[in-house]
Structure formats: C-alpha cells, structure tokens
Amino acid sequence: MKTVTVLVLLISVYAFAQSEKMKWGKADYTYRIEISENDRDYSVNPGNPIDVVAKSFINVYWFLISDLDGDNCPFHPSCSAFFVDVIEETNIITGTLLFFDRFSRDASVVGRYNRYPKHKSGRLYDPAYLYTSGSATYIPASKVIDEE
Amino acid sequence: MIKILLFVIISSNFSYSQNFHTPENRKLFADYLFCSKDYLRAVLEYEEYIKHFDNDTVLFKIALGYSKIENYNEAVKRFINISVQSDYYSSARLEYLKSKLFLEDYNSIIDFSRNNLRNNELKLISMSILLSDKNLPERNNFIFAFEDNLRTQIEDFFDHKINPPYKSPLLAGIFSTVVPGSGKLYTNQISEGLTSLVLNGLVAFLSYNNFKNDHTTRGWIFAGVGAFFYAGNIYGSAVSANIYNQRVDYEYKENVKVFLEAHNYFIERYEFCK
C-alpha cells in the first residue's frame, strides 16, 4: 500500500510539474506592425453638419482608397485620422489648414526620423493636439510614445 | 543515551542561536542594504529600528533613501522633520530643496524663507528661479552666490532667461506669405520649408499651364488645391514657430538640470559607505 501511495504521488508530481522545456520554450512572437485600419471609426455625428461632410469624405477615402492601398502613412495617426482629430479639436477652417500643412510635411522625406518622436508602432508620432493646444507642445525626437 | 544526545544537540543549538530581529541587527542589515543601494528595503529596516531608538543619522538615511528611490513627496516630509540639533540638519535642508526641485515645486523653493540661508541653499534657490516663471532679480544679486568658475555658465543661463532666442510666429507667417516655405526655413525646418516651396511651385505651375492651354477646369482644380497648400503653409509656419519656442524652453530647462546634476545640486557627498 505504501509503495502504491508513493508511486501515485511521484507520478502525479511528474505529470503536473512544469517541464524545463515548457518553462524555457520559445515564445511565439510576431514582428508584424499593428495595423490601425482595424481601429477605424466610421461613425458620423448627424447633429453636426461639418462632421457629416468631413467624415463622409474621409470614410469614402478609407473605404475606397486607403484600405486597398494599404497602411503606408509614416505618421501616427495617419493623415486622414489627423484630419478627423484636428477638425474635432478646432474647426473646419483651422483643421483644413493644419491638414494641408501635415500633408506637405508628409511629403518632406529628408531627415524626418530625426525630427519627430517615435510611436511604439514604429511610425513618427505627430498627433493633432501638438498643433492645436493653446500653445504648441514640444516632444523631443528621442522619445518613444507608448500611448495609442 | 540517544535521547540525552539529542537533547544536548538541540539545547546547544538554541543556546548559540542568534536573534536577527534585534534593533541593532536590523540596523546593521539596513546599513548593508543602504550601501548595496537597495534603498527601499533599507528604509523599511531603518523604520523598524527607529521604533526602538531615536537616531538622527538613521532618520536622515530614511529620508535620503526615499529621495534615492524617487519618492520625493515622502522624502520632503522626512527631510523637513530633521531636527535643528541634528548633525545632518544643513544637509537635510539642501536635500529638501533638491527634492522640491525634482517635484518641480519651484515656488516653494523660492519662498524657502529661513533664517541664515546658506550659500548652497542660495544657489539652489537661484537655479529654481531660472526654472520657474518668476522674474529674475538684479544680475549681481543673482550670481553673487556662485564661485568664479561657475559664473560664466550661470550668466549664460541668466541671459537666456531674460532674452530667449524665440522665433516670432507672426514673422514666420509673413515669410511664408511672401515666399512659401520660407517661414519654415526661418524656424529651422529646412527640409519642410524646401518641400513646401517645391510643392507650392509645382501646383501653381500646373494651374498656370492648364489655364494657358485652355484646360480651365483642371486649372481651377489645381488653383484650389494650391490655395489650400499655400494657406496651410502660412498657418503651419506660425505653429512651427510656436513649437520651436517650446523646444527652446525645453532644451534650456534640460541644460539647467544637467548643470545641477553635474554639480550634485551643491550637496557634498556623504560617507555612509566607506
């Protein structure tokens, strides 16, 4: 009886113990960059005519062009998402001006990785609030931003 | 016989056993932890020790430990309670000011009004005036606390505070109105300035060329797009000047902090761990 009990105990310990292989096994990790297209908000606020016009324009662009073309914008948030944010934070006129400014900054490819802080996704971090808060806000280029 | 032997062995174990939890042993252990830079656990052990004995050095080391683990709120509370009779009173005052610096509570440093302000305290108060939004005193009143070898650097900070090398958002906007992109060049955004110039020039040329060749619709489309790029560049240049000014402030504060760190906040090194 003693032998059986000891055997059962030993077997159960071995059966439920964490093996070295499991403990030190290779972790599954993906190096794919997170795609922000999945987080897109297509909703429109019908009470706000400016939002309806701007959001309809952006939704059509996202659905017909951006989703097919792929996730190519070097910035986070992308230029179209920046447009939506900047209009929400300011107004249609200021927002449009800042969007065209962002668009021309997007075209400026020389040395931009030394000028903008980095987002955790690997893109350049350039959100609307940096340009819309009462006084513009400076984030050093060496910083990596962890927020969404 | 075996029972006697076992009894002797067990009783001898107890007679030679050491109690590690006496206050003296806890202090010895805390000293070891403190010198191993394990400040959090050292503080916990010191806290146990001072329940039994009052010791100025230990009280100061607790406060210093909190400061080392960057718990500045707790450090401030502990440093302010160091007694005037303590050997570490003057160091505690400096450490208090240092912790307040890390908390960016510059106003309470500037208002640190105690009798007989020491020279190093005056230095820390002067440095916090540089970091705060308060107006600077007279130049000579400001720099007199500093030694000759530090005065050049302090005067540079002083001059920067009086006259920071800001760029005017209005001027940046005017520059970009006259020549697209020049406002960005003015704010040191060379690549973006040149890109804006090329982009505006290209769209303007496309518009002109289409009108010239009687493609009126395309001409108007390019003119409209060009107008947005042009206006966006003017507004963007003004915002860019604001960001430039923020950067000037940021780098200035970083330089002052690096200077303070290089001089150990004018605090002498302690010799707790010889």
Question: What ranges do the domains of chain B cover?
Answer: 23-95, 169-244
Taking the model in full, what pTM does it have?
0.78
Give me the residue from A107, A111, A137 closest to B246, CB to CB. Answer: A137
Instruction: Report which of B256, B23, B5 is spatially closest to residue B123, judged by C-alpha positions.
Output: B256
Task: State which amino acid sits at residue B217.
Answer: T
Strand partners, A119: A145
CB contact under 8 A, A105 and B242: no
This model of the complex carries an ipTM of: 0.73
Beta-sheet pairing, A144-145 with A75-76: unpaired
CB contact under 8 A, B191 and A104: no
What's the start-to-end Cα distance of chain B, in Å?
Answer: 53
CB neighbours of residue A136 within 10 Å: 20
* Angle at the Cα of A107 from the Cα atoms of A101 and A113, rounded to 5 degrees: 100
Question: What order do you get walking across the sheet with A144-145 strand by strand?
Answer: A75-76, A124-125, A118-119, A144-145
> CA B112 → CA B77, B88, B96, B101, distances in Å?
15, 18, 10, 12
Query: Is the pLDDT reported for residue B168 higher than 90?
Result: yes
For residue range B231-248, what is the model confidence (pLDDT) as tens digits? 999 999 999 999 999 999
CATH superfamily of this structure's domain B23-95: Tetratricopeptide repeat domain (1.25.40.10)
Task: Give the residue, A133 or B142, on which the prediction is more confident.
Answer: B142
For residue range A68-110, what is the model confidence (pLDDT) as tens digits? 887 788 998 999 999 999 998 888 999 999 999 999 999 888 8
B235 has a chain A CB within 8 A of its CB? yes
B176 has a chain A CB within 8 A of its CB? no
Give me the residue from B191, B232, B239 closest to A108, CB to CB. Answer: B191
